[in-house]
Amino acid sequence: MAKERTLVLCVDRDDDLGFKARIGSPIVGRDACLHAATALGLSDPEDSDVNAIFETVKLYDELVGRGEEVAVAVICGDHMNLLEGDRRVASSLDAILVETASSSCILVTDGAEDEYVLPIIQSRVPVSSVRRVVVNQMPNLEGTYYILKRLLDDPKVSRLVLVPLGLAMLLYAAGYLLGYPEGATIVVVGVIGIYLLFKGMGVDEIFGYFISSLRASLHGGRFTFVSYITAILLSILGVVLGLISLLDYYTPSGIFFQILAFIYGAIAWFTAAGLVASGGKIIDVFLNEREAVRRVIALPFFVLAIGVIAYGASIYILSISDVPRFPIGDEAGVTYIIFTTIGGLFCAFFGVYLQSLLGRWGDEREPIPLERGM
């Protein structure tokens, strides 16, 4: 009976091997791993991934010395985009498991960041052990300064830290020169707050995925490229008109009413942008993957429903809140909220019904396999 094979796996989630040493992933085999560690060490002797790869090879040699069936490999993610990097780690691991026929895994990392991929690995192969490699250093002030300097020299870290700080300082300087230091402080705090919210809620990864989709649609000659560009322009126009609406109906009652004033002026253009983007997506799916149309057909109906309901709600609340110069009275506001809510719910229901109808139609068209005689 064949022995079970263990995969000793080192994960370089931020792809220092590819970014610094120009080594492609995945890397399978003892000699290939040693070559990768040497190349990375010559490129950056202070990178902790060098120690992690050598620890992986050392552990591999120990298990081979015990007579076990062992394979060794190194897989990398992406230096600039962790979302795409994790997908790359998953696909590389699938290929290695097929190539080495491994039934279990020992994970070797150089820190907590690489261990984020542990659930991805566990979903594909049992992990029997996790080995973290820690480099011994003398903690002192000079070492701390050097570590911070190295982090800020990394393009991935500097883009996350230095760019927003530099932008905030420029905004404050511009506001101070224009004679509005109080306004500059508000703008700077607002920009930093929006940035932190975007990072904390993962909106930056959504934008990264959107840019990747836009680039793929351009290279593939898809209609979504035109629809996405149009949606971006409509969204920019919506932001401008929303700010104009905010200035026209500004009230010191609170930020909630200011947000509603912005929504009142911008929501129609945001809705139009969503309809154009989802319409382009439906056209591309219809032309290339016609059987998948039922999965995206409800998108424009949901976008329209949300936009209509948000528009009615903003009108109703602003109309009953004594907002200066607002053109709609409280009685008309009640009419707006009733009709927009009914219209939005009907639109969403029709989208769900159309999706279900196409699903049943697709199931009826699927060929029924013929039963074979015994």
17 domain residue, yes or no: yes
**Judgement on whether residues 12 and 116 belong to the same structural domain of the protein:** yes
Tens-of-pLDDT digits for all 374 residues of the chain?
456 889 999 988 888 888 888 888 888 999 999 998 899 888 888 777 888 899 899 999 999 998 888 999 999 888 777 778 888 888 988 889 888 888 899 988 876 566 678 888 888 888 888 888 766 554 554 456 556 666 666 666 666 677 777 777 777 777 777 776 666 676 677 777 777 766 666 666 666 666 676 666 665 667 777 888 888 899 899 988 888 888 888 777 777 888 888 888 899 999 999 999 888 888 888 877 777 777 888 888 999 999 999 999 988 888 888 777 788 887 888 888 899 999 999 998 988 888 888 777 655 555 544 444 43
366 domain residue, yes or no: no
159 domain residue, yes or no: no
Number of structural domains in the chain: 2
**Judgement on whether residues 123 and 217 belong to the same structural domain of the protein:** no
184 domain residue, yes or no: no
pLDDT, residue 364, reads 58
Q: Which pair of structure tokens corresponds to residue 263?
A: 């929504």
Domain that holds residue 93: 5-132
**Judgement on whether residues 108 and 247 belong to the same structural domain of the protein:** no
> Which one of 70, 104, 132 terminates a domain?
132
153 domain residue, yes or no: no
310 domain residue, yes or no: yes
187 domain residue, yes or no: no
Identity of the residue numbered 265:
G
pLDDT, residue 318, reads 85
**Judgement on whether residues 31 and 121 belong to the same structural domain of the protein:** yes
**Judgement on whether residues 212 and 115 belong to the same structural domain of the protein:** no
> Which one of 82, 113, 132 terminates a domain?
132
> Which one of 100, 132, 164 terminates a domain?
132
User: Which string of DSSP letters, residue by residue, matches 116-177?
Assistant: GGHHHHHTTS-EEEEEE--------HHHHHHHHHHHHHSHHHHHHHHHHHHHHHHHHHHHHH
**Judgement on whether residues 121 and 218 belong to the same structural domain of the protein:** no
191 domain residue, yes or no: no
Count of CB atoms situated within 10 Å of the CB of 99: 12
**Judgement on whether residues 348 and 234 belong to the same structural domain of the protein:** yes
Q: Which helix (H) or strand (E) holds 7?
A: strand 5-12
Is-above-0.85 flag for pTM? no
Please provide the distance, in angstroms rounded to a whole number, between the alpha carbons at the two ends of the chain.
35
**Judgement on whether residues 224 and 330 belong to the same structural domain of the protein:** yes
**Judgement on whether residues 115 and 227 belong to the same structural domain of the protein:** no
Cis omega (within 30 of 0) for bond into 369: no
**Judgement on whether residues 121 and 256 belong to the same structural domain of the protein:** no
pLDDT, residue 142, reads 43
What is d(CA 28, CA 75) in angstroms, rounded to the nearest whole number? 9
**Judgement on whether residues 128 and 216 belong to the same structural domain of the protein:** no
**Judgement on whether residues 108 and 225 belong to the same structural domain of the protein:** no
